[in-house]
Amino acid sequence: MCMVIFAPLFAVLAFATCGGYSGQIMVKVECLDKTQNNISISFNYPFRLQQVHFTAPLCEKTRKETLFLEGDYASSAQFFVSVSVLAFLYSLLATIVYFFYQNKYREKNRGPVVDFLVTLAFSSMWLVSSIAWAKTLSGVKTATDVHQIMLLMSACRAQENTCEVLQEPIWTNLNMSAAFGFLNFLLWAGNIWFAYKETGLHKSFQRYPSRTPSEKRGSFRQFSQTSFDQSGAGFGQRLYNQGSFDLSSGGFSLPQTSLGQPMLYRQMGSPTSRGPLIFVNEM
C-alpha cells in the first residue's frame, strides 16, 4: 500500500522539480560614462549551458560582446528525469494490475517474480541517477554562479565600471529534486523484501530443513535395530518348547511340529515344569 500511494507521487515530484526548472540571472552594468545596461541570462532543463549565450556591453561607446556559459550537464539530468518517468509509469501499471487483474498477477507466480526483479532494477537506477544528478547539480551551481559570470564580462573586470547583481537563481526546486531522488531510492529499496515475500521463494527454501549429523546417526541406529529385530526370527527357524515330563506318572508329551502356529502342549494335571527352548530349522 505504501508503494501504491507514495511511489507515483514521489516520482512525479522528482521529475517535475527537475524537468520543469528554469533559472534566471540579472546583472546591472554601469559604465564610467554613467550608461547603464541590464543583462538577463536564462537557463533551464536539460542544462546545456554551453548553448546559453547573452550580450554584455564593453563600455566602449556602443560596442557589445556575446558570451556563452560553460558546461554540458544534460546527460545526468535527462537520465534522472527518465528514471522518474519510467518509475511513475510502472508504478501506475503495477497498481492497476494488482487491484484489477489479481488472477493474472498470481498465475504461475509470474507477476510477483517480475515485480521483484523490476523493483531491484529501479532501486539500482534510483541510486545511480540520484548520485549522478546531485553531483551534476553542484556543477550547474558553479557554472551559473553570478560572480563567475561577472568575471566573464570585460566591463565588469574593469575597475572604473560598476556591476551589481539584481537577481540570482533559486535552487529550491533542484535541491528538492535531488532529495526526492534519494527518497525514491529508499522507498523502492525498502519494498524489495515485500516484493520477495510475494514471490513465495523464501518458503521453498524452508520446506526441507537440513538434518544434523547427530540426528542422522540416531536414525541409522534406529533403522539398524528395527531391521535386526524384524529379521531375528528368520533363516527358517521356529521356536518350540521341549516336551514336559510328569515324574509322578511317567508321562511324556512331544511338541507338535506342524507348519502352522507353534503351540505348547502339556499333559493334563502335570506340574508346570518346562525344559529348555529348542530351535528347529525348517528347510
pLDDT of residue 217: 53
pLDDT of residue 104: 74
268 domain-assigned: yes
- Same domain flag for 190 and 73: yes
Is the peptide bond between 46 and the residue preceding it cis, with omega within 30 degrees of 0? yes
- Same domain flag for 173 and 244: no
Q: For residues 200 and 180, what is the distance between their CA atoms, to the nearest angstrom? A: 31
Q: How many folded domains does the chain comprise? A: 2
Range of the domain at 105: 2-205
- Same domain flag for 199 and 153: yes
**Which stretches within the chain are classed as H helix?**
2-19, 74-100, 102-106, 110-143, 146-152, 154-157, 172-190, 192-199, 201-205, 213-231
Q: For residues 39 and 156, what is the distance between their CA atoms, to the nearest angstrom? A: 12
Cα dihedral 212, 218, 219, 221 sign = positive
Residues (pLDDT < 70) of the chain are 1-4, 105, 200-283
- Per DSSP bridges, beta strands 245-246 and 251-252 are antiparallel
Residue whose entry in the numeric block shows the C-alpha cell 550580450: 55
Q: For residues 19 and 82, what is the distance between their CA atoms, to the nearest angstrom? A: 10
Q: Are 8 and 91 in contact (CB under 8 A)?
A: yes
- Same domain flag for 97 and 165: yes
- Same domain flag for 88 and 12: yes
Q: Are 271 and 281 in contact (CB under 8 A)?
A: no
- Same domain flag for 200 and 247: no
- Same domain flag for 182 and 248: no
pLDDT of residue 201: 63
The predicted model scores a pTM of 0.68
